């Protein structure tokens, strides 16, 4: 009787302190879903200590299990200069956490028969018909690496290659240096072109590898964004708004932050390497990054995936499609060690996120079949079907993003007691 009364009191207190936004997913006390309140409290203790030491400005943590939010707290400041605290509905730049949303968008079109994974990218972007692959790289008279020759690719680049980062494309910050220079010269770091214009420029740069032969984290999802535009007949941001944000009530998500919402945006130093300004108009809306979101918005997106493609009676995808896209699609090309393998040890690649393929190889706790994705600013989310768990962590501290991904994931798993 005493235990029951204690749980009722805890439940009342939890609901009272929760924001209205938390109620867009049901809330409960941790013990009701097999989590320990005492152990979850370690997360706040650690974050508050790190904030006090100036390691990070602030953060939001959301944990949901069995479809209910069991932990949802904010810490520190979103803008130290203005003394604005992080709120549960603060807006964060999520960078590459745009990619899972793009993966879902592609699967929506797949289910509608508007895309086929085996189709060539050139069917949707004609300039890709003439794309070449790097042949020989030499050094010029100044000692700089240059592409000395190119070859016709041995394989055709497909939609599946874009989805699993085996397209042969690169990023401007990846080697070889000869390709880096070509990407930068073509403006691949900037946003003064449309998505269609970017793809046509990218098609003139040789691939780093034959499509389908090597995993390389790249601009594949930007190109996929253009494929989505062509296949759907809609601008990418409008398609995401109509087919994903609105059905899931992701009201704080998109590519632009306007009006009163600007004050909700977590600050990022303009001098930071990854800086972008979503408060300003831009020609470029890409599929690989640029999105902003809130913890609750992204939790709803993640819960939809955990539910097999539906949330609150609104179905975006079929369960078989979700199971397919959250499977490992790399096989022997994946689960590598080394800094250029972005999924990290113990993980393969799904369609927009990384999928755990073994128990003991990764740097943090988890289960085979769990999938996650992080962003360059310090955000991360993951879904663990075995534990019926969804978690979202939001902060703005790019240099410490991996440290806190590993830390927070482990601290959440250690709180699972049933």
Question: SS3 helix, strand, coil % of the chain, rounded to 5?
Answer: 35, 20, 45
Residues 340 and 331: beta-carbon distance below 8 Å: no
What is the secondary structure of 305-352 as a DSSP string? HHTTSEETTEESS-HHHHHHHTS---GGG-S--STT-TT-TTEEE-SS
Q: Is the pTM of this model over 0.85?
A: yes
**Cis amide leading into 124 (omega within 30):** no
- Average pLDDT of the chain? 93
HSE-CB at 307 with a 13 A cutoff on CA atoms is 21
Provide the pLDDT for residue 269.
93
Q: Could you give the percent of the chain with pLDDT greater than 90?
A: 89
Provide the pLDDT for residue 141.
86
Q: CA-CA distance, 219 to 150, in Å (whole number)?
A: 20
Provide the pLDDT for residue 7.
41
HSE-CB at 91 with a 13 A cutoff on CA atoms is 22
Residues 346 and 336: beta-carbon distance below 8 Å: no
The one-character DSSP state at 32 is G
The total number of residues written for the chain in this structure: 418
Domains of the chain from N-terminus onward: 18-96+234-413 (3.40.710.10), 113-232 (3.40.710.10)
Provide the pLDDT for residue 11.
43
In 85-194, which residue ranges form alpha helices assigned H by DSSP?
98-111, 159-164, 177-185
Provide the pLDDT for residue 143.
86
The b-or-e profile of 27-44 (16+ CB within 10 A means b, else e) is bbbbbbbbbbeebbeebb
DSSP 3-state assignment of 399? helix
Provide the pLDDT for residue 382.
96
Tens-place pLDDT, residues 233-259? 999 999 999 999 999 999 999 999 999
Provide the pLDDT for residue 2.
42
The one-character DSSP state at 245 is I
Q: Where are the beta strands (DSSP E) in 25-67?
A: 58-65
The b-or-e profile of 392-414 (16+ CB within 10 A means b, else e) is bbbbbbbeebeebbbbbbebbbe
CB atoms within 10 A of CB 376: 17
Could you say which residues of the chain have pLDDT below 70? Answer: 1-23
Q: Which residues contact 280 (CB under 8 A, 6 or more apart)?
A: none
Tens-place pLDDT, residues 98-155? 999 999 999 999 999 999 999 999 999 999 999 999 999 999 888 889 999 999 999 9
């Amino acid at each position: 009787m005493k235990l029951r009364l204690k749980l009722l009191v805890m439940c009342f207190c939890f609901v009272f302190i929760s924001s209205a936004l938390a109620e867009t997913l049901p809330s409960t006390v941790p013990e009701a879903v097999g989590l320990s309140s005492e152990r979850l409290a370690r997360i706040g203790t650690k974050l508050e200590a790190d904030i006090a030491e100036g390691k990070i400005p602030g953060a939001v943590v959301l944990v949901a299990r069995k479809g209910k939010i069991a932990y949802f707290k904010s810490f520190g400041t979103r803008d130290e200069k203005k003394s604005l605290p992080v709120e549960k509905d603060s807006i964060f730049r999520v960078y590459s956490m745009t990619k899972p949303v793009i993966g879902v968008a592609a699967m929506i079109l797949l289910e509608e028969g508007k895309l086929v994974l085996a189709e060539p990218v050139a069917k949707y972007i004609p300039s890709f018909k003439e794309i070449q692959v790097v042949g020989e790289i030499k050094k010029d008279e100044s000692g700089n690496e240059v592409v000395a020759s190119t070859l016709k690719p041995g394989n055709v680049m497909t939609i599946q290659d874009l989805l699993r980062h085996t397209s042969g494309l690169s990023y401007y910050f990846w080697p070889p240096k000869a390709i880096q220079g070509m990407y930068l010269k073509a403006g691949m770091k900037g946003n003064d072109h449309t998505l269609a214009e970017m793809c046509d420029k990218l098609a003139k740069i040789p691939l780093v590898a034959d499509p389908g032969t090597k995993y390389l984290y790249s601009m594949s999802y930007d190109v996929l964004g253009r494929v989505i535009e062509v296949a759907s007949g809609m601008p990418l941001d409008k398609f995401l708004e109509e087919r994903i944000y609105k059905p899931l009530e992701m009201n704080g998500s998109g590519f632009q932050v306007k009006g009163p919402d600007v004050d909700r945006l977590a600050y990022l130093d303009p001098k930071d390497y990854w800086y972008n300004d979503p408060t300003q108009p831009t020609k470029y809306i890409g599929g690989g990054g640029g999105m902003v979101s809130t913890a609750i918005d992204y939790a709803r997106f993640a819960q939809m995936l955990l539910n097999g493609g539906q949330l609150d009676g609104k179905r975006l995808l079929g369960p078989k499609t979700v199971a397919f896209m959250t499977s490992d699609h790399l096989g022997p090309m994946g689960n590598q060690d080394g800094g250029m393998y972005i999924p990290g040890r113990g993980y393969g690649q799904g369609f927009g996120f990384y999928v755990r393929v073994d128990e003991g190889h990764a740097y943090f706790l988890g289960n085979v079949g769990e999938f996650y994705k992080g962003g360059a600013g310090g955000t991360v989310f993951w879904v663990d079907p075995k534990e019926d768990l969804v978690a979202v962590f939001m902060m703005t501290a790019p240099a410490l993003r991996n440290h806190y991904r590993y830390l927070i994931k482990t601290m959440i798993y250690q709180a699972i007691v049933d």
